[in-house]
Amino acid sequence: MAQNIKTLLERFARRDRLALARLITLVENRAAQVASVMEEIYAATGRAFIVGVTGAPGAGKSTLVNLLIAKYRAQNKIVAVLAIDPSSPFSGGAVLGDRVRMTDHYRDPGVYIRSLSTRGHHGGLSRAAREIVKLLDAFGHDVIIIETVGVGQTELSVMDLADTTVVVTVPEGGDGVQVMKAGLNEIADLFVVNKADRDGADRIKAELELSVHLRPGDGWRPPVLMTQAANDIGVDALVAAIGRHAEYMRTQRSPARERERRTREFIEVLTSELEERATRALGNGARGAERVLGAVREGSLNPYSAARRVIEDRAALSELIEAGGSEPAGE
């Protein structure tokens, strides 16, 4: 397996799209080799500009993203899209496939589109998205667009990956108060009222502008833009506004904020890696942890005492970490 990963990484470095796709699949499947892959490609990351697009279902996000791809391609930028979709309850795969979305760009070699299924495990979604974004970044994409299909807490954490977050709403989607309730007011760098030819668009725009005005502190004030994505109206202004925010972020880059982001990423990676190693170790039959797990299953030991017992038993903990460093037996 180590040789296969090495070969994939060599092909990845040569911009082989099939190698990119296979490495992304490893991330989605939480393979044991993911950490090694990320170590290898990490130095090549940090060059892409990441745009997050979120908002309620039905707001026209995919149509808007389709046009954003076209605008950036007209600027000769290499574009990737990560579309985070709800999972099929039967297959675990994304309900909305790559080919259904953004078909205008499917055959363009300068565009890479990938769907990421939530698979029902919300806790690991932000890490998987982060790692896929880093793969897309290291591959050489200039712009990476993350599109989420909702406004829940999971989507808000995924938006933490973006350099610029665009929140899309529509006139019939409720008033500006609903946007604030969803937590979007805090994460938005730009607001878009899509389908702006419909009744109520001006009212939503005014309410969003008021919410921006009521934000505490100075600094960037998110503009509220009106678009009709279906007719390519207002999208050029959106691209320009994203560019202005990118320039603002470059001039206001805070070392303290960068340290905080790196710290959050480290904690997320560490906790996820320990969880995944523990799961794999139990699949591999790690003896020390297996005995404790048996007692938990029988009900003779509660999970908190069991966890403390493993953590305080250095031999059991070491075995758990080492046994979890490979795939479960039989795979």
pLDDT over 90 (residue 138): yes
- Residue 193 and residue 169: Cα distance in Å, rounded? 5
- For residue 144, the cross-strand partners are 50, 80
CA-nearest of 266, 328, 18, 326 to 127 is 266
Domain range annotation of the chain:
1-44, 48-253, 257-323
Is there a contact between 226 and 169 (Cβ–Cβ < 8 Å)? no
CB proximity list for 139: less than 8 A, separation 6 or greater: 12, 15, 20, 80, 112
- For residue 82, the cross-strand partners are 114, 146
Rounded to an integer, the average pLDDT of 150-170 is 78
pLDDT digits (tens, 9 = 90+) for 36-49: 999 999 999 999 99
pLDDT over 50 (residue 92): no
Alpha helices in 42-121 (DSSP H): 61-74
What is the pLDDT confidence band of residue 1, given thresholds at 50, 70 and 90?
A: very low
pLDDT digits (tens, 9 = 90+) for 162-215: 999 999 988 875 545 555 555 677 788 999 999 999 998 999 999 888 888 877
CATH 3.40.50.300 fits 48-253, yes or no: yes
Question: What pTM was computed for the model?
Answer: 0.85
Is there a contact between 54 and 155 (Cβ–Cβ < 8 Å)? yes
Instruction: Write phi, then psi, for 278 (nearest 5 degrees).
Output: -65, -40
Average pLDDT, the chain: 83
Q: What are the Cα distances from residue 168, in Å, to 77, 144, 181, 321?
A: 23, 17, 15, 43
* Angle, CA of 242, 84 and 324, to the nearest 5°: 120
- Residue 242 and residue 263: Cα distance in Å, rounded? 27
Residues in the chain, total: 331
